[in-house]
Structure 1
Amino acid sequence: MTQTDPAKKSGKSKSDLMEMSWDPITRIVGSLGIYTKIDWEARRVVECYSTSSIFRGYSIFMKGKDPRDAHFITSRICGICGDNHATCSVYSQNMAYGVRPPRLGEWIINLGEAAEYMFDHNIYQENLVGVDYCEKMVRETNPGVLELAERTEAPNAAEHGYRTIADIMRALNPLEGEFYREALQVSRQTREMFCLMEGRHVHPSTLYPGGVGTVATVQLFTDYLTRLMRYVEFMKRCVPMHDDLFDFIYEALPGYEEVGRRRIMLGCWGSLNDPEHCDFRYENMNDWGRRMFVTPGIVVDGQLVTTNLVDINLGIRILLGSSYYEDWEGQETFVDRDPLGNPVDRRHPWNQHTIPKPAKRDFDDKYSWVMSPRWFDGSEHLALDTGGGPIARLWTTALAGLVDMGNVRSTGHSVEINLPKSATMGERTLEWKIPKWSNAIERNRARTYFQAYCAAAALHFVDKALAEVRGGNTRTWEPFDVPNDSVGCGFTEAVRGVLSHHMVVQGGKIANYHPYPPTPWNASVRDSFGTPGPYEDAVQNTPIFEENSPENFKGIDIMRAVRSFDPCLPCGVHMYAGDGFELEKTHTPHAFDSQT
């Protein structure tokens, strides 16, 4: 953290208004910077800028590649959620090639992705975000809250085993805390589950357009299931424990709902396809999209605007605003109309050109390499956020009321999750209810519930996969031909939220390719209309509850707001070295060379 002079052009004293920055943000890949101006008299953040200091270049070096290599290349966008990129790329390729994988292949992909959600959300929630609420952190920033936590009985102590809220906080202490260490063991098991399905984590080795190369046997799914049931038991303790902790924060710090709060503008592209309905044809995308086991949708001010993936696709706009790029006005348009004949905007990813223009950071002009994706509703370019993924997924799924797997059901106002009897605990029914706010606490709470959602969904997928194997339907891959000219778009949810891959094939090669992960949406900067991105918006107006003085300020409330989005900058920034250069080898005679 760095601290500079008081905000320029202000009439306030240094003790009242200060510029403070955190660059890089810790506990994530270090390319994200948060720059703020804080009004100490009002104890509130009045201004925020989100920055990323490295250039993104995947959309440039994908051009001219064989489209069949797209998932192997784009998997390397990130060393954390690479499988989400590979999966999304495969979905885009399936559409472009007109291929429908066998059902078993899709069930295997679902099992792999469910394991990835469980793995990543678990390790982030308990070993990274959890530190923000652990005993050591609270002692340093809010000792009065810790004192109250010592005296507060945990309502669900019988479920999770911690008598007081302070005991929960101690269990989250890094390296020493009991729950912190247990979560590390759980993350290992969930990573093994993923590798059983897709061969390697985090860059799958058995995932291809047309299906998977995984050899499907009863033993394979049994090995997955034994690990899954250990995770189910873990979640029966994890959900009530987090409910106790987050509910206590609200009680201990009245007004804490304002930390990280922003207008409810949530986007979810849906995930976990139903192979009974998904044929990957663009013409049928609205239908099979609504059959996903996580429902796609856009929620604005609590209302479900759409669940139509065609509308979602056509509404995406890439604005530049405060990012270091030149506009592509006047450049080639790749796609005038989608396969249904709908007009495609010049600012849609199918038509995007990436033209870098580095400049000195200037918060009144250009200040980041992250662009500003927006969703156009016909009148307004909405700065949608994903809330770190789970809150948007649960919110859209709950409102749509389309999911019913038996053990997971969306009701129109909530999501019900039934976890079966496990080794030492009986059946448990959990219910995530739509909250009043989209804020830091509720983003974190949703992450815990979505882990339970994935566990229950995975039980359903295992049953379906075993039924295919026992029925003799063991084929996992469908052959295909690459058309000379085609377009494709893949929609899924990366761990942190919306993920889409947009591909244009011309002459059998990639002519244009743009992956849009959650980071450009969440970490986007002020766009060409002056609208701040979600990180910026969530931090602006966040109140300061930390008890420390400005001289010892750690910024815990600001960090909780940012980290509630599960920021991960690899998907927002990448290095591009231009056209490269030629190396010339010269030979220097060695002492042992023969002499002439």
Structure 2
Amino acid sequence: MSTATNPSRVSKSGSGNLVEMSWDPITRIVGSLGIYTKIDFDNKVVAECHSTSSIFRGYSIFMKNKDPRDAHFITSRICGICGDNHATCATYAQNMAFGIKPPAIAEWIMNLGEAAEYMFDHNLYQDNLVGVDYCETMVRETNPGVWEKALHSEAPHAHLHGYKTIAEIMTALNPFTGEFYRETLQVSRYTREMFCLMEGRHVHPSTLYPGGVGTVPSVQLFTDYIVRLMRYIEFMKKCVPLHDDLFQFWYEALPGYEEVGRRRILLGCWGSFNNPDHCDYTYQRMDAWGNEMFVTPGIVIDGELVTTNLVDINLGIRILLGSSFYDDWQNSEKFVEKDPLGNPVDMRHPWNQTTIPKPQKRNFDDKYTWVMCPRWLDKRTGDHLALDTGGGPIARFWATALAGKVDIGYVKATGHSVKMLMPKTATMGEVEFEWEIPKWSNAIERNRARTYFQAYAAACAMHFVERALAELHAGNTKTWTDFKVPDEAIGCGFHEAVRGVLSHHMVIRDGKIANYHPYPPTPWNANPRDSDGTPGPYEDAVQGTPIFEENGPENFKGIDIMRAVRSFDPCLPCGVHMYVGNGKTIETHHSPMFGAAHG
């Protein structure tokens, strides 16, 4: 991340100046994310934020008229890091549309592959990408006062992870030279091997199909997975307490740091890890089998779990336009009038969406991004809620904990927490971790949940591999169910990509795809102000964030802003740049603490 050398000042009446600063691109694997802000350095707060994306990809357009059997292969290419999540979600939608149920062992194999993906991706992102924001090099440059405190702050769990002080942890996170940073690179290697054992290759799986998998189950296959899984579990016994020490330190070192990246608790989780004992992929039973997932679907509003019903979740999805570069499709063809249960389907639902791109010049007072505005309609209030995924894990945990439905020995949801049992490993005994519902949905807690969910995925994988071996020993080795593509059908798949909610909606006519809309987590998190003027989650989390960085405008890194945005795990290629134009002056007549600064 480079430093601003020519910040653009925006003067105002009253105290202090607003300074325009932009980070563009902030990238993680696919696409291009830009964050544009106005910062009040006198009051040390971000006054205004806009989130932009400069890339249009158009999968919903070129999926039309394709063979429905190819949906998972094509949509896997949406992303170069979570392609398997798309392939998995697409096969779920295909299974529903084709009216098929895979054999149980195929489901356990898919669950093992997805569990490995969570372990791999969360590990890599947490310690090799977002962890850099908390490393010694960054902290010394942006908050030398905090570094001094870290030097003299003992790590409470030093006996578990081996680092005596918080400063030692920060040093261990330094890119390429830090001990823990290098260790996590090795972890990402064998977790990717775990994935490939189940799904053939990473990141575009070669063994996933509608109806099952092409993976050949054997004792050797599952043993190879278990060997790596136990190594990972031993690593987690060190990793969880290390991150707990680091993140808790920030609350203590900088009182008020809980406000960085904080927004209203509006969390969405679509559920993950289907249970073949209950899941038959019929829409009519989607509520029942959805509630048997090993990650419970749910929507959490202000700390309340308002539903775990996938049918309700599905019917509440709305795609608004607002500040996006598209024309409205309100008068276009309606593909689905009613769902299979007879419920009316809204025109702004993904089944009925038509993508009509309209390129234009970016204007923050009008249209400024290619990201649409997914919202969820709360029928109790009539509000279109800007749900976020919190980067995935915090929403998954919050919904699962409150629902209290999961109890499989290795993991248990209690109604207020989620417990994870880490079995005995080579050099360490049995350990139980417990993720407890936090006070806030903020940058620190999003990151903390990511660490705990690595342990959760590993604990779930223990259950999955035991069930897969039981099927194998019982002689149930068939991994695929035959099917025929219907002439007319609809289907929907619900899953959790690494960084949050993922849905695929498909309409089949004349044996071909007539409409297809995949919605991964980034549109939910990175969307702009909608047609009601409601900011998207990135914008909302950054706008109002206090500035704790000790650098002034001339050397400002924007580290608190970066921590807020990165806590959501934005899925776009990795590299951060700051640039500032020649500058302009705008007169405003109200406090930037309360609302946007308009010209």
C-alpha distance in structure 2 between counterparts of 1:280 and 1:267, whole Å: 21
C-alpha distance in structure 2 between counterparts of 1:119 and 1:5, whole Å: 40
Contact kept, 8 Å, 1:157 with 1:164, in 2: the verdict is: yes
TM (normalized to structure 2)? Answer: 0.94
| Corresponding position of 2:261 | 260
C-alpha distance in structure 2 between counterparts of 1:326 and 1:203, whole Å: 32
2:503 is equivalent to residue 500 of structure 1: yes
| Corresponding position of 2:428 | 425
Count, aligned residues: 569
User: Could you say what the CA RMSD is over the residues aligned between the two structures, in angstroms?
Assistant: 1.2
C-alpha distance in structure 1 between counterparts of 2:358 and 2:518, whole Å: 20
Contact kept, 8 Å, 2:417 with 2:437, in 1: the verdict is: yes
| Corresponding position of 2:172 | 171
Percent pairwise identity: 77
* Residues 371-450 of structure 1 aligned to structure 2 (within 5 Å): 371-378=372-379, 379-450=382-453
Partner amino acid, structure 1, of 2:39: I
2:490 is equivalent to residue 487 of structure 1: yes
Residue 27 of structure 1, CA deviation? 5.8
Name the SS of the counterpart of 2:86 in structure 1. helix
| Corresponding position of 2:76 | 75
C-alpha distance in structure 2 between counterparts of 1:149 and 1:451, whole Å: 26
Contact kept, 8 Å, 1:257 with 1:437, in 2: the verdict is: yes
C-alpha distance in structure 1 between counterparts of 2:481 and 2:205, whole Å: 18
| Corresponding position of 1:215 | 216
Residue 12 of structure 1, CA deviation? 5.7
Which 4+ runs in 1 deviate beyond 6 A?
A: none
C-alpha distance in structure 1 between counterparts of 2:31 and 2:104, whole Å: 40
Name the SS of the counterpart of 1:51 in structure 2. strand
Residue 425 of structure 1, CA deviation? 0.6
C-alpha distance in structure 1 between counterparts of 2:78 and 2:21, whole Å: 31
Consecutive unaligned residues of structure 1, counting only runs of 5 or more, are: 571-596
Residue 26 of structure 1, CA deviation? 5.2
Residue 29 of structure 1, CA deviation? 4.7
C-alpha distance in structure 1 between counterparts of 2:339 and 2:27, whole Å: 42
Contact kept, 8 Å, 2:33 with 2:54, in 1: the verdict is: yes
| Higher RCO (C-alpha 8 Å, min separation 6) | 2
2:252 is equivalent to residue 248 of structure 1: no
> Residue by residue, what CA displacement relative to the aligned partner does 1:89-129 show, whole Å, maximum 9, x if unpaired?
00000000000000000000000000000000000000001
C-alpha distance in structure 2 between counterparts of 1:524 and 1:59, whole Å: 17
| Corresponding position of 1:228 | 229
| Corresponding position of 1:576 | none
| Corresponding position of 1:320 | 321
2:13 pairs with one of 6, 11, 14:
11
Partner amino acid, structure 2, of 1:392: A
| Corresponding position of 2:115 | 114
| Corresponding position of 2:595 | none
Residue 56 of structure 1, CA deviation? 2.7
| Corresponding position of 1:273 | 274
| Corresponding position of 2:100 | 99
C-alpha distance in structure 2 between counterparts of 1:56 and 1:395, whole Å: 32
Name the SS of the counterpart of 1:491 in structure 2. strand
Contact kept, 8 Å, 1:27 with 1:128, in 2: the verdict is: no
Residue 150 of structure 1, CA deviation? 0.6
Partner amino acid, structure 1, of 2:111: N
2:565 pairs with one of 541, 562, 565:
562
C-alpha distance in structure 2 between counterparts of 1:511 and 1:7, whole Å: 49
| Corresponding position of 1:592 | none
Question: Using a 3 Å threshold, how does the CA distance of structure 1 residues 461 and 268 change in structure 2: closer, same or farther?
Answer: same
Residue 30 of structure 1, CA deviation? 5.9
C-alpha distance in structure 2 between counterparts of 1:294 and 1:440, whole Å: 22
Contact kept, 8 Å, 1:496 with 1:565, in 2: the verdict is: yes
Contact kept, 8 Å, 1:435 with 1:442, in 2: the verdict is: yes
Residue 6 of structure 1, CA deviation? 2.2
| Corresponding position of 2:591 | none
Contact kept, 8 Å, 1:56 with 1:369, in 2: the verdict is: no
Name the SS of the counterpart of 1:219 in structure 2. helix
C-alpha distance in structure 2 between counterparts of 1:77 and 1:28, whole Å: 11
| Corresponding position of 2:299 | 298
* Residues 527-542 of structure 1 aligned to structure 2 (within 5 Å): 527-542=530-545
Residue 505 of structure 1, CA deviation? 0.2
Consecutive unaligned residues of structure 2, counting only runs of 5 or more, are: 574-599
| Corresponding position of 2:526 | 523
Contact kept, 8 Å, 1:24 with 1:30, in 2: the verdict is: no
C-alpha distance in structure 1 between counterparts of 2:337 and 2:158, whole Å: 59
Residue 330 of structure 1, CA deviation? 1.1
Residue 549 of structure 1, CA deviation? 1.1
Partner amino acid, structure 2, of 1:484: D
Residue 550 of structure 1, CA deviation? 0.9
C-alpha distance in structure 1 between counterparts of 2:83 and 2:330, whole Å: 32
TM (normalized to structure 1)? Answer: 0.94
> Residue by residue, what CA displacement relative to the aligned partner does 1:336-385 show, whole Å, maximum 9, x if unpaired?
00000000000000000000001111000000000000000121000000
Contact kept, 8 Å, 1:259 with 1:557, in 2: the verdict is: yes
Residue 202 of structure 1, CA deviation? 0.4
Contact kept, 8 Å, 2:104 with 2:277, in 1: the verdict is: yes
Contact kept, 8 Å, 1:210 with 1:478, in 2: the verdict is: yes
> Residue by residue, what CA displacement relative to the aligned partner does 1:280-313 show, whole Å, maximum 9, x if unpaired?
0000000000000000000000000100000000
Contact kept, 8 Å, 1:497 with 1:518, in 2: the verdict is: yes
Contact kept, 8 Å, 2:420 with 2:455, in 1: the verdict is: yes
Question: Using a 3 Å threshold, how does the CA distance of structure 1 residues 269 and 93 change in structure 2: closer, same or farther?
Answer: same
> Residue by residue, what CA displacement relative to the aligned partner does 1:117-144 show, whole Å, maximum 9, x if unpaired?
0000000000001000000000000011
Question: Using a 3 Å threshold, how does the CA distance of structure 1 residues 214 and 28 change in structure 2: closer, same or farther?
Answer: closer
